[in-house]
Structure 1
């Protein structure tokens, strides 16, 4: 009986080790520097990806904003010297969550779960349109156009604070990273609630 349990334990350990991959680097371009740590934490929490591991399999991640969309590429370098590159594009940061799980399916340690929520933001400016999008100061689009609703005398705590210019809420780097982290928890935005 003990021998049987030991064999099962070794098998599970082998399977777990086989899934593990070492994060060699994350390179971001035309994006706030604050994003890098958010992505790193997300990968470590949801996938069998580590910086300190004896695994011979390695991963390099490149994430950039091209002016119209995000381009994300995963460069896998395996112990047998084989390589694989998997890429995707995303119009907004809201698309990251599910697309990351699609590409890294074999390494996941949690199941993806999405939910639709209202996003509360703070701004002293009023939008000139009924819908606004949310961008960092680097102009990458975290949240695409959503309907807005003004809240008066609200006790709701805003997730982020920024400046609205016509139809776009611009966020400073730290605020943008805060919103990115929120989106990488599987949150999909239904509408944007504005408080002053």
Structure 2
């Protein structure tokens, strides 16, 4: 009986010491790129345009079901306008891929790396991240909501911080109705 108690005590101590010094590793959840969607919307004086862009790769990190980080690579060559058809769609898609906008032949990808994640509600998180577009990196802040194996996020991005100045009244005068607003929106629906 004494040996059984000693063995049990020894087992409990070993288990306690082992668990005390073992780091609990987070759970890295890969984004299902074929089931995830990113929609962009840009604004100009006379209206707006919208479309989609594909996620090349990405993941979200969790610890005990709490979001702790993430990273995404966007395939800039997939910029696609969805509110136009035919010749006008082709022209806008080509212009967005040109050096006037995102220069996708030189910069085929953009990247977002989470640098800070704070819970802001039951399933919501305030995120600060480093966004790199056209080789320029700037901090962005946004909210992401996570429900089960899905997440949604909305970002407002000032394109001029990334050297995308075409049609910007911040850099060019007398654009009148040809002006394009500096900020554009990205809305993502993610599945992992």
Tell me which structure has the larger Cα radius of gyration.
Answer: 2
Same fold, TM exceeding 0.5?
Answer: no
Which structure has greater strand proportion? 2
Give the TM-score taking structure 1 as reference length: 0.25
Give the TM-score taking structure 2 as reference length: 0.26
Which structure has greater helix proportion? 1
